């Protein structure tokens, strides 16, 4: 993935190891969209915010609704936008088939399937690409339920946003954290209310160099790359 936009320090340290997702034929055949990012930008082109979800979910209960706002702060259309939802649970006990997550395009729901990373996190990609017009906000409705075999827990949800370009991509957005309890009386800590960006941000070349340094560097906070193989498989990989 091209790190041509700054990587925000709000990406969880435990977030994202490896994810394989087979693309749909329509996605594989789609022409490359112009990037909505610029190499010298000091902010992400898409301001991303999770809001509206409950503080707790009942194990085996029904769906609860929350929303993902994607605000295009540029004068360019952002096409082929794929949010990547990361779930990090305190007990490392959440299984990929236990969170039932869907997002909506109009009235039509689309399932988001999760994979387990080597950091015991769950990562799910929106298969359908989204478009956000210049200067506009696109609000994506989502709903989540937990199956009856889940255990009491505390979970943090976070969304990274990728713009796909055939066999490559740009990291173009990063959301706040949404924290919730799973069938427990212990209230979760308050969710982040806004995106946070460090005062000094590395450019793409510096970020790539940091990704190969030790764990004492800020590279731990810049830990994601997106690769699209020629076989049509989407790979989200973490570098530490």
CATH assignment at residue 92: 2.60.40.3880
Counting the structural domains of the chain, the total is: 1
Instruction: Classify 153 as helix, strand or coil.
Output: strand
Residue 13 lies in a domain: no
Residue 9 lies in a domain: no
Residues 186-215: pLDDT tens digits?
A: 556 676 654 444 444 444 444 444 333 333
Residue 203 lies in a domain: no
Residue 180 lies in a domain: yes
Q: Contact, 131 vs 180, CB < 8 A?
A: no
Range of the domain at 118: 18-186+222-237
Residue 210 lies in a domain: no
Residue 211 lies in a domain: no
Q: Contact, 133 vs 81, CB < 8 A?
A: no
Task: Provide the token pair at 192.
Answer: 């982040």
Predicted pLDDT of residue 57: 97
> What pTM was computed for the model?
0.71
Pairing verdict, β 114-116 and 122-125: antiparallel
Residue 11 lies in a domain: no
Residue 115: pLDDT band (50, 70, 90) is: very high
Residue 30 lies in a domain: yes
């Amino acid at each position: 993935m091209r790190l041509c936009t700054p990587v925000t320090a709000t990406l969880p340290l435990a977030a994202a190891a490896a994810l394989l997702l087979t693309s749909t034929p329509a996605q594989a055949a789609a022409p490359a969209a112009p990037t909505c990012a610029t190499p010298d930008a000091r902010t992400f082109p898409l301001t991303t915010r999770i809001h509206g979800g409950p503080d707790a979910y009942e194990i085996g209960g029904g769906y609860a609704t929350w929303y993902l706002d994607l605000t295009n702060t540029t004068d360019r259309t952002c096409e082929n936008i794929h949010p990547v939802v990361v779930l990090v649970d305190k007990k490392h006990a959440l299984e990929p088939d236990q969170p039932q997550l869907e997002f909506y395009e109009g009235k039509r729901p689309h399932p988001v399937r999760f994979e387990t990373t080597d950091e015991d996190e769950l990562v799910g990609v929106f298969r359908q690409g989204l478009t956000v017009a210049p200067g506009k906000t696109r609000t994506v409705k989502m709903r989540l339920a937990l199956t009856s075999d889940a255990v009491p827990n505390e979970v943090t949800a976070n969304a990274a946003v990728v713009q796909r370009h055939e066999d490559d991509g740009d990291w173009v957005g990063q959301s706040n954290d949404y924290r919730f309890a799973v069938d427990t009386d212990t209230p979760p800590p308050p969710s982040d209310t806004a995106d946070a960006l460090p005062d000094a941000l590395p450019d793409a070349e510096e970020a790539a160099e940091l990704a190969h340094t030790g764990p004492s560097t800020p590279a731990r906070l810049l830990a994601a790359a997106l690769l699209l193989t020629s076989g049509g498989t989407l790979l989200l990989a973490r570098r530490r």
